[in-house]
Chains A and B, each alone.
Chain A
């Protein structure tokens, strides 16, 4: 779609006022940035999974490429359907995502790393918690847009409940990371839906209680508890011998070694020893940023962050330009999701955020997540190109 060029004899300025062809208002900058980051992601996933010696393992590369193709297809479909038509089926989308979250708790779902959050479909795994983030955004935007900025206590609680339901289900898996993303989405949407400052302050105070309870109960599971402690005790962890470190301390230390040793320009693609020798656990998924930091150095990692900034800026701008509240809230939700995930993911690899299992958009290996993010971009493109009609 991006390759369709506008006729040359027409002044570009005029395109903005041509209401008849929505696809002419496509956000090309966003598309280019997403394509560039996804391409870099492919390369990084390959470098992190190809192994030490020939024959190199290309299975992850192939699969990730397939996910991107599937995701782009889904994105195209989502972009083409007018988002106001999507609004009509919003309750069904929200309901379906909740249904999947319930279903994954049944024996149909499978367990991995202590979390029951996957459907095993042949060789592929579907992670409903990823899809549910888009479900939440659409459902929330649908309800909130009907309130037209008039949020009384009942409406506030209704909106809160919309966000809390998927959060609670994901927390039960348990998947702390995705729960936090949903929380970030809900919070930003509450703010932009027109909640009163008083309501938000009360919410903040009330949230402190369940957060404290969760931290002190066994609900988090040992892995998550360990990750939080290792974040708090980071100074000790960096001094600790790698042999004695707990899994999370080890992960964080190896991650910092990988990024730090990259220096200004990095060690070159396929030349990063930490990445090549598989020293950072989960380096092709949650810790993919270490591969960038080590192999491409500050130059590469900062460029990636810059690309993410542009992406976020384009989504932010679309939210402002949206012609209605529904479109605005969808973009704001996607914005919250990306910003939180990027900050949390990159932050945890560098030791300024606790370790949680959140993928880095368009970089981390994974089907459900890649498709979800491309669909989310599709929604933003949709709102952007239909901002006049």
Chain B
């Protein structure tokens, strides 16, 4: 009986084992087969070279070059004894420090073994990135090639090796941009430096140095947010991969990024690769991006901007107005656009920076310097992000508002005696009733054209006042509606990240703004949030709460220049495969809207704008364009001088603006420049534009005949200051 019981127990136990075996090996086997395969195979990504960025003529603006990076193979390093490890790191630290010192002293050149073979010129099937040399340097690498080489310590190297950002399947980079001498030294003394290798990697190469830095942008190591946002199966990202951080590098990231290659390894339980498996794939370089930028014009624009800022900065005695004399000319930007299709030909922002500073990682200190207010934020693209009061450049759009609302006709005249008294004004209510024109200049009887040419504030004060009086018929936001027609108050949709909206104020906005400003005090909110006649007056002359970006200004003038088509401005012309010129994507002009202008309206305004630059005339930029070959290259434009208050409510030096197009009767080019704290439009921004238009006039307005920009993009600012025939005059707005 007892044997029977024990027998039954035994049979049940074995039955349980058989059942479980069946469950694991038959019913759930597929899941475990997958798990076993994942256990066995590790896929290591080989980063592919990024695509090139070229200008409209195919000049390479950003390519790739080889750089020498020193790496440590962690897998092998880990097998060394502790004393061996520290001795090795000590020797390596010394070699790196010596190399950095010698390079800083100029004894040997920084390691650039020649630029990488351009992938687009290798017609053969060999992809230049099929070897380990195609990996790009992760940001944060210890850059030993800086001005004052801090000694590299073994401690730093050890930290670097332990840094979890670096995959232990790939050699860990410990120094970039080392010299070829060091590469040779390390190779020849391989026995002293086990596990250490000097590898040639691909990094971004900025062919024109600092030129176009803000548009091109820079690349850096991907962060966790980007990893989530950009992850995709075809072009997978890994922890320390490069990604475009700003500019075109960022907005065209999906095209520029290459398709990473894959190497499959079989690994054992400790994750040590045992052998390389078949399969995998070679990396494919990213697509090339063609910009609408003309690098030769860009060179002119940047040179002109830098030169004009230098002129303002070095003005003897500073810039003087009623508030006294102050320094100015710290920053500025210029946008050049083709009005026929909205393509951007040049875009410059100053102060600027060197994107190659970001190659291989930028130090926190250097990055802070590039974003500091004290340095006027060199990293910040003021051409699209900067917001400024437009001043009198605004009068073009105010004129349109008056004409389209029927408030004025091209023949409407006003007697400008230097100041304007608001109609039906009740001074007892605390409102301001008398508005003075710029410097109280008396222009006497002006019609629309001459009001633009001489920049009569009184003409537009009256327009603003009467449009407010007729608000019952026109609407209290009639001005704002007209301005928005021209693309103001919203970003233009340029294919570059970081654009500002600008601001077109209207009564509704003002009330909300004041409410947000004084959330506790209803009386103050109401007092400051009420739109009065005066507000309309200020808005009409581009003062008050109006803000525009240089790009919006250029785009608005382009719409006028081409007869009323507001285009969405763009920078990318086409995207092409790295190994052929076949376009994968071609962008087309995109008209946002057509602005209806009667022929006589446009003619009157155009006449006024032509008068502004008329040499010998009474225009606000007549003196600036004295001697300019208007007969071959007619320039029409408008100056602007915006009075700005600083944060302490003290008047700052005025913002200098100028927007122009040429040839006036068949415009092919529009330029807008804004220089904050730089005095009147005629004294700073207009001469800047003249500096750009002079060589253009010399080439008959043909961009393709402009002198070629030198590789490296360097210029001497003092020399550039002298490169103009413009008279050093001061004009009024």
Contact = CB atoms under 8 A, between A and B. Distances in A.
B167 to A, nearest CB: 14
B366 interface: no
A64 to B, nearest CB: 21
A283 B267 CA distance: 17
B184 to A, nearest CB: 34
Contact of B268 (A254, A277, A297): A277
Interface stretch (B9-17, B123-131, B473-481): B9-17
Nearest to A343: B13
Interface string A243-276: 0000000000010111111111000000001100
Interface residues of A, number: 46
A256 B6 CA distance: 29
Contacts of A339: 10, 13
A118 B227 CA distance: 53
Contacts of B20: 347, 350-352
Given A297-B25, A319-B3, A259 B14 contact: no
Interface in A296-327: 297-298, 301-302, 305, 308-309, 312, 316, 319-320
Contacts of B274: 52-53, 277
A370 B33 CA distance: 32
A312 B10 contact: yes
Q: Among A242, A261, A281, A301, find the residue whose CB has the most chain B CB atoms closer than 10 A.
A: A261
A278 B269 contact: yes
Q: Among B7, B24, B269, find the residue whose CB has the most chain A CB atoms closer than 10 A.
A: B24
A346 to B, nearest CB: 5
B2 A191 contact: yes
B10 A263 contact: no
B442 interface: no
Contacts of A254: 39, 269
B2 A277 contact: no
Interface in B22-37: 22, 24-26, 28-29, 31-33, 35-37
A293 interface: yes
Given A52-B274, A277-B40, A256 B17 contact: no
B21 A281 contact: no
A301 B26 contact: no
Interface string B268-296: 11000011000000000000000000000
A343 B9 CA distance: 11
A188 interface: yes
A52 B268 contact: yes
Given A188-B6, A273-B40, A312-B10, A264 B269 contact: no
Contact of A316 (B7, B13, B31): B7
A121 to B, nearest CB: 30
Contacts of A188: 6
Nearest to B31: A260
Nearest to A320: B3
Contact of B39 (A257, A302, A347): A257
B14 A260 contact: no
A285 interface: no
Interface in B314-333: none
A273 B39 contact: yes
Contacts, number: 122
A192 interface: yes
B17 A346 contact: yes
Contacts of B73: none
A183 B30 CA distance: 38
Nearest to A274: B36
Contact of B18 (A257, A279, A302, A342): A302
B266 interface: yes
Contacts of A312: 10, 14
A309 B11 CA distance: 9
Contact of A305 (B21, B28, B39, B266): B21
Contact of B32 (A260, A279, A342, A346): A260
A71 B21 CA distance: 30
Contacts of B275: 52-53
A316 B13 CA distance: 15
Q: Among A281, A308, A320, A343, find the residue whose CB has the most chain B CB atoms closer than 10 A.
A: A343
Q: Among A277, A319, A342, find the residue whose CB has the most chain B CB atoms closer than 10 A.
A: A277
Interface residues of B, number: 33
Nearest to B270: A278
Contact of A260 (B3, B16, B29): B29
Contacts of A278: 268-269
Given A277-B274, A320-B3, A343-B17, A259 B268 contact: no
Contact of A298 (B3, B25, B28, B33): B25
Contacts of A280: 269
Contacts of A192: 2-3, 6
Contacts of A294: 36
Interface in A207-254: 242, 254
B29 A261 contact: yes
Interface string A114-155: 000000000000000000000000000000000000000000
A294 B14 CA distance: 20
B15 to A, nearest CB: 10
A52 B267 CA distance: 10
Contact of A257 (B13, B26, B32): B32
A166 to B, nearest CB: 22
Given A188-B6, A277-B266, A277-B267, A261 B36 contact: yes
Contacts of B17: 305, 342-343, 346-347, 350, 352
Contacts of A261: 29, 32-33, 35-36
A319 B266 CA distance: 51
A335 B6 CA distance: 10
Given A192-B6, A339-B10, A346-B17, A277 B269 contact: yes
A50 to B, nearest CB: 13
A256 B21 CA distance: 10
Interface string B88-105: 000000000000000000
Contact of A259 (B5, B13, B16, B25): B25
A347 B39 CA distance: 23
Given A260-B31, A260-B32, A301-B25, A316 B266 contact: no
A259 B39 contact: no
A298 B26 CA distance: 8
B3 A264 contact: no
A247 B2 CA distance: 41
Interface in B224-275: 266-269, 274-275
Contact of B21 (A52, A191, A257, A350): A350
Nearest to A194: B2
Contacts of B39: 242, 254, 257, 273-274, 277, 279
A259 B32 contact: yes
Interface string B364-406: 0000000000000000000000000000000000000000000
A319 B2 CA distance: 12
Q: Among A53, A260, A273, A350, find the residue whose CB has the most chain B CB atoms closer than 10 A.
A: A260
A301 B13 contact: no
Contacts of A264: 25-26, 29
Q: Among B17, B20, B267, find the residue whose CB has the most chain A CB atoms closer than 10 A.
A: B17
Contacts of B266: 273, 277
A242 B271 CA distance: 12
Nearest to B23: A350
12 contacts: A188-B6, A257-B32, A260-B24, A260-B29, A260-B31, A279-B268, A298-B21, A319-B3, A339-B13, A347-B16, A347-B20, A350-B24
Given A242-B39, A257-B35, A273-B36, 18 more contacts: A53-B275, A259-B25, A261-B32, A261-B36, A264-B25, A264-B26, A273-B37, A274-B40, A277-B269, A279-B40, A293-B24, A294-B36, A298-B21, A301-B25, A305-B17, A342-B17, A343-B16, A350-B24
Interface of B: 2-3, 5-7, 10, 13-14, 16-18, 20-22, 24-26, 28-29, 31-33, 35-37, 39-40, 266-269, 274-275
The 3 tightest CB contacts between A and B, nearest first, are A260-B32, A261-B36, A298-B25
